[in-house]
Structure 1
Amino acid sequence: MRTLVTGGAGFIGSFVCDRLLKDGHSVTAYDDLSLGRVRNIEQNLSNPKFRFVEGDILAPRMDEVFATGEFECVFHMAANSDIARSHESPSIDLDRTFMTTFRVLEAMRKNGVKQIVFASTSAIYGETTGRINESYGPLIPISHYGAGKLASEAFITSFAENYSIQSWITRFPNVVGPRSTHGAVYDFVQKLRKTPGSLHVLGNGQQIKPYLNVEDLVQGIMLVWTKASEKVNIFNIGADTRTRVADIARIVIEEGPAPAEIVYAGGDRGWIGDVPEFEYDTSSIRQLGWSPSMTSDEAIRVAAAAAWSEQV
């Protein structure tokens, strides 16, 4: 199948490209390299089934790529992923999380592309109690990122109905692993590189969430895409186990070169818009035959080791 991966040089998008190529599909990766890195996809550049295009989704070049690509499916992975940054500048998520989705949908409509796999998020649910399943509501996101993803989901479902576009909406928790450019594990490693011996942690360390290895995530995405057959398919993909921020800090230090003191800023969350605690119900995707290969703590440890070994 001829596929387009937006954000294809990014953390998750590059792993999606790897997997699609492994499964025999043709892949065009489209990325403006604001967060993505060419080194994430350099292993694919010599593959005749792979093409990389540098460009902004909101720029005219996107229309040219669609017009010539003859795509059958779009994996829309591109978005702003810095929740804290958008607190200071809300237009970031309007433009880079919602409008990028709308532009992709419009290009699909104009060019007759009938499948979209969308990277959504647990942030659409807001602050919750109990285990969250896909029918949880009302959905009250507390970050601009979550709001942009929820608005994107709404337009995907309306385009599905109006233009016969089949969609797979996959709601991720916190994803960790090699090639990451943000998140607690990555941030802690960078802080320790700058100030060895002392790790400053936002919040009180008691925030607790499921963390999922990126390759487990991609395995789940592919299973959903190939096995779920409704017009609109919505799945939580995540671990049933969770990790506290205090344990992330401990694991990052254990995987690093030297001991360090942990200093907490205090408060129940890291920043405005941060959901300090949630837990997923993943029974729907487990019924398709998927389960993660790692616990949340194991995924954190693998990610920490990778972050310490990667070039800055």
Structure 2
Amino acid sequence: MSKTVVVTGAAGFIGRWVTEELLDRGYEVRGLDDLSNGSRRNVEAFADDPHFELTVGDVRDQETVDRVVTEDTAACFHLGAKIDVQESLDDPESHFETNVTGTYNVLEACRETDTRVGLVGTCMVYDVADSDGGIDENHPTKPASPYAGSKLAAEDLAEGYYHGYDLPIVILRPFNTYGPFQKSDMAGGVVSIFTRRDLEGDTLKIFGEGTQTRDLLYATDCARFIVDATFSDDVLGEVLNAGTGEDISINDLAELVASDGTDIKHVEHHHPQSEVQKLKCDPSKANELLGWEPKVSLKEGVQNLREWMQERDEFGSQR
């Protein structure tokens, strides 16, 4: 089996962790990223690694995708996407073009080369959970933003390629992922935003009542899940969730992150209609089929992120 793989969105937050996981396993990684959301800083640790090559290009361009996905490609990890809920509400076209048309281009390149695909989706496609039980893969979908809608459309397209062309594909829905290299401005994740603001002595601002919950998955656990699932023949054609199986309210998360003396304040939500109230993963399918389970606790993960931010200028901000 070839040891060459492609990672789209390689310079993004999760993409760089997938890249590191693959390099650690001895793969030759061809990264593709247009750097609109990702950053060269995210992959600077691999700059001198002869097994890593970054192509700056756009998944919306078929010729660019065809240049990186070739006959010797063992797998394509497709993470290249627009991921900002607020931006998708303001500019839905950009999310459609990147997340749907871009995915079509990747699937076509993989179909031509018979390359297996790990399509990384999002837990934001799910409908509101109405009980304390976790969300499994059979839970109803109800995208609450153009971002979530475009990601679900990309999944449906990929499923069509699996059934229509026998293209080896797995659809992956990690829950809210956090950790080093995640943006910590308003385009980032809540854990990174809270941690950065706490380190700077700023008020932690909670949108709405703060009762909304999230299942928070550490970056290395997410990357291991994506790599394990993509290479597993046992999950081809499946949808798989990844999460801890535990959720925490944003109010409780703020209390966990806040140092003594840090203020916490509730503010009006920009778009409350796009907020999923409860996100708690049922990861039992991934555990059963892959033997995968998360290793990093929330407390440990937050401490890792805090230490990483303290070691970097601007507390890890990538603005």
* Alignment-mate amino acid for residue 212 of structure 1: L
- In structure 2, the partner of 1:118 is 119
1:30 and 1:52 in contact (8 A); partners too: yes
1:211 and 1:297 in contact (8 A); partners too: no
**Deviation larger for 61-70 or 91-100:** 61-70
* Alignment-mate amino acid for residue 277 of structure 2: P
- In structure 2, the partner of 1:74 is 76
Structure-to-structure mapping, 1:88-99, within 5 angstroms: 88-99=90-101
The two structures, once aligned, show a CA RMSD in angstroms of: 2.3
Is the counterpart of residue 245 in structure 1 residue 250 in structure 2?
Answer: yes
One of 43, 56, 62 as aligned partner of 2:58: 56
Is the counterpart of residue 187 in structure 1 residue 193 in structure 2?
Answer: yes
- In structure 2, the partner of 1:43 is 45
2:77 and 2:117 in contact (8 A); partners too: yes
- In structure 2, the partner of 1:209 is 214
Q: 1:90-112: CA deviations, max 9, x gaps? A: 11321222221111112222x32
C-alpha separation between the residues in 2 aligned to 1:69 and 1:203?
50
- In structure 1, the partner of 2:223 is 218
C-alpha separation between the residues in 1 aligned to 2:136 and 2:100?
23
1:248 and 1:300 in contact (8 A); partners too: no
Shift of 1:297: 4.4
Is the counterpart of residue 275 in structure 1 residue 273 in structure 2?
Answer: no
Q: 1:97-148: CA deviations, max 9, x gaps? A: 2221111112222x323300011111111222232111223x2211212111
Distance 1:305 1:272, change over 3 A: farther
1:129 and 1:278 in contact (8 A); partners too: no
1:9 and 1:38 in contact (8 A); partners too: yes
1:73 and 1:113 in contact (8 A); partners too: no
Shift of 1:70: 3.4
Shift of 1:210: 0.5
Shift of 1:292: 1.0
Partner secondary structure for residue 236 of structure 1: strand
**Deviation larger for 49-58 or 59-68:** 59-68
Shift of 1:301: 4.0
- In structure 2, the partner of 1:20 is 22
2:32 and 2:54 in contact (8 A); partners too: yes
Q: 1:31-82: CA deviations, max 9, x gaps? A: 0111111122122222222111011111255145246573221100111121
* Alignment-mate amino acid for residue 33 of structure 1: L
C-alpha separation between the residues in 2 aligned to 1:297 and 1:277?
20
Partner secondary structure for residue 30 of structure 1: strand
Q: Provide TM-score, normalisation by structure 2.
A: 0.87
Q: 1:139-198: CA deviations, max 9, x gaps? A: 22112121111111111011112222111111111000000021112333455677x443
Distance 1:67 1:148, change over 3 A: closer
C-alpha separation between the residues in 1 aligned to 2:275 and 2:75?
32
1:243 and 1:296 in contact (8 A); partners too: no
C-alpha separation between the residues in 1 aligned to 2:76 and 2:165?
15
One of 169, 172, 175 as aligned partner of 1:170: 172
Distance 1:127 1:48, change over 3 A: same
Q: Provide TM-score, normalisation by structure 1.
A: 0.89
1:170 and 1:234 in contact (8 A); partners too: yes
Distance 1:74 1:178, change over 3 A: same
2:215 and 2:247 in contact (8 A); partners too: yes
For structure 1, the residue ranges without an aligned partner over 5 or more in a row are none
* Alignment-mate amino acid for residue 139 of structure 2: Y
Distance 1:67 1:136, change over 3 A: closer
- In structure 1, the partner of 2:142 is 140
C-alpha separation between the residues in 2 aligned to 1:180 and 1:45?
19
For structure 2, the residue ranges without an aligned partner over 5 or more in a row are none
C-alpha separation between the residues in 1 aligned to 2:65 and 2:81?
18
Partner secondary structure for residue 229 of structure 1: helix
C-alpha separation between the residues in 2 aligned to 1:185 and 1:279?
16
* Alignment-mate amino acid for residue 210 of structure 1: D
C-alpha separation between the residues in 2 aligned to 1:9 and 1:251?
29
- In structure 1, the partner of 2:267 is 265
